[in-house]
Amino acid sequence: MSAIAGHGAAVRVENCGKTFADGTRALEPATLDIARGETLVLLGPSGCGKTTMLRIIAGLELPDAGGKVLFDGRDMTSTPIEKRNVGMVFQSYALFPNMSVAENIGYGLKIRGVPADERAARVAELVTLTNITGLENRRIDQLSGGQRQRVALARAVAIRPGILLLDEPLTALDAALRDRLRGELNRLLRALGITAIYVTHDQAEAMELGDRVVVMRKGAIAQIGTPRDIYFAPQSRFVAEFIGAANIIEAPLDRGELVLPGGRLPIGGDASLPAAVAMIRPETIGIVDVGTAALTGIVDSVSFTGNRQRIVVSGVADKPLTVDAPNLVKAKAGDRIGLAISAEAIRLLPMED
């Protein structure tokens, strides 16, 4: 393993914006610092500029004037990709159809003039590492989607890149395979100690893989933070709603309490405002006895998903609240139900956005 482990470079993206030739503004000038060995996830809806950011770091796209890309403090902005020593994994895998699996994996080494025997040894090591033993001599069109993904990954890390760039590497796979490969990928990235930048629009993937997550929106960075930060302390309504399920309610404030149709709800934050927008995660809402509950409402619907159940309660706030409840709670549509929400579970958001 140590033979494969890269050293991992620190990356700094400084003031990089991107306007395409046709005038499309894909990226607002943004600055990002990625530590050595860190896995940073770029997360956001389609068209928000994730791929553009990745391609700027890779050297496939030039940032607008004023933008800079630095690896370990060295300015790489005008260095072409072939001299940057970055590994890339594309969503479509982009494996060479005229080469076998082993030739694909060894291509970067061959280009670097690594002698054939040394190359074969490295390829064998990577084949084992990525679990594709026995496929070395196959042609690419004889592989399944999951196998192609592994070959693409092996090919990218074979050159011991300082930085590994992955653009939605799992999106083309079915859900079960995606889950399994996500786990494998996570272990591999940690084992290699490589600096990785991972693009996805799947928030579960982002949470599991990222040391930090960059949430992007319309070409701008909406928030950067650890998965926990992003999930529990979103700084905007967009981030709150994009990551996981969220109840967003608007209500007037009175002496530190939200005044709701279903009762009063104390908040932890700034109580001096006249009104507030608050986010409450569905799984942080407890179900309690109706008699003693501070908040009550009527069950609209119950959807049972096996390990949990999703209960929609109306009459509590300005719009129905979704509650993610344990599966043993007995509730049916039309029931009166009592809810408990602790002050820590409430996150105030800026009013407008």
Partner 1 sequence: MSHRSFVWFCLLPLAVVTAAFFLLPMVRLVVTSADGPQGLAGYLAILTEPRYRATLINTVLLAAATTLVTLIVATIAGMFLQRHRFPGRAVLIAMLTFPLAFPGVVVGFMIILLAGRQGLIGDITKLLVGEKWVFAYSIYGLFLGYLYFSIPRVILTIMAAVQKLDVRLEEAARSLGASPWAVQRDVVLPALAPAFVASGAIAFATAMGAFGTAFTLATNIDVLPMLIYTEFTLAANFSISAALSVGLGVITWFILALARSFSGDAVAAAG
Ligand X SMILES: Nc1ncnc2c1ncn2[C@@H]1O[C@H](COP(=O)(O)OP(=O)(O)OP(=O)(O)O)[C@@H](O)[C@H]1O
Distance CA 130, CA 89 (A): 14
Judged by beta carbon distances under 5 to 8 A according to partner kind, the member of Mg ion, ligand X, partner 1, none in contact with residue 17 is none
Structure token pair of residue 347: 């996150």
CB of 153 to partner 1, least distance (A): 12
Judged by beta carbon distances under 5 to 8 A according to partner kind, the member of ligand X, partner 1, Mg ion, none in contact with residue 22 is ligand X
Residues 244-283 that bind ligand X (CB under 6 A): none
Edge-to-edge, what's the strand order for the sheet holding 346-349?
263-266, 257-260, 247-254, 275-280, 346-349
* 9, 48, 173, 295: which one binds ligand X (CB under 6 A): 48
Asked if 39 is part of the footprint of ligand X (rule: CB under 6 A), the reply reads no
Asked if 130 is part of the footprint of Mg ion (rule: CB under 5 A), the reply reads no
Tell me which residue of 255, 286, 269, 231 sits closest to 350, measured CA to CA. 269
Judged by beta carbon distances under 5 to 8 A according to partner kind, the member of partner 1, Mg ion, ligand X, none in contact with residue 49 is ligand X
Judged by beta carbon distances under 5 to 8 A according to partner kind, the member of partner 1, ligand X, Mg ion, none in contact with residue 159 is partner 1
Helix axes 101-111, 116-129, angle to 10 degrees: 130
CB of 22 to partner 1, least distance (A): 11
- The CA-based dihedral angle spanning residues 155, 156, 162, 167, taken in that order and rounded to the nearest 10 degrees: -170
CB of 95 to ligand X, least distance (A): 20
Judged by beta carbon distances under 5 to 8 A according to partner kind, the member of partner 1, Mg ion, ligand X, none in contact with residue 85 is partner 1
What DSSP state is assigned to residue 63?
P
Beta strands per DSSP E along 168-261: 195-200, 212-217, 220-225, 247-254, 257-260
Binding site for partner 1 (CB under 8 A): 58, 60, 80-83, 85-88, 90, 92, 94-99, 107-108, 111-112, 139, 155-156, 159
Residues 171-210 that bind ligand X (CB under 6 A): 201
Asked if 52 is part of the footprint of Mg ion (rule: CB under 5 A), the reply reads no
CB of 25 to ligand X, least distance (A): 8
Q: How far is CA 183 from CA 79, 88, 119, 147, 261, in A?
A: 34, 19, 28, 15, 44
In whole angstroms, how large is the CA radius of gyration of the chain? 24
Judged by beta carbon distances under 5 to 8 A according to partner kind, the member of partner 1, ligand X, Mg ion, none in contact with residue 142 is none
Asked if 78 is part of the footprint of ligand X (rule: CB under 6 A), the reply reads no
The DSSP bridge pattern shows strands 163-167 and 195-200 to be parallel
Judged by beta carbon distances under 5 to 8 A according to partner kind, the member of Mg ion, partner 1, ligand X, none in contact with residue 26 is ligand X
Asked if 122 is part of the footprint of ligand X (rule: CB under 6 A), the reply reads no
Q: Which is nearer to Mg ion, 92 or 303 (CB)?
A: 92
Collapse the DSSP code of 229 into the 3-class scheme (helix H, G, I; strand E, B; otherwise coil) and give the result: helix
* 30, 32, 38, 50: which one binds ligand X (CB under 6 A): 50
What DSSP state is assigned to residue 161?
-
Asked if 51 is part of the footprint of Mg ion (rule: CB under 5 A), the reply reads yes
Asked if 20 is part of the footprint of ligand X (rule: CB under 6 A), the reply reads yes
Tell me which residue of 284, 286, 300 sits closest to 333, measured CA to CA. 300
Collapse the DSSP code of 284 into the 3-class scheme (helix H, G, I; strand E, B; otherwise coil) and give the result: helix
CA geometry: angle 204, 207, 212, nearest 5 deg: 150
Asked if 52 is part of the footprint of ligand X (rule: CB under 6 A), the reply reads yes
Q: Which is nearer to ligand X, 51 or 309 (CB)?
A: 51
Distance CA 205, CA 96 (A): 27
Q: Which residue is nearest to Mg ion (CB)?
A: 51
Interface positions with ligand X (CB under 6 A): 20, 22, 24, 26, 44, 46-52, 201
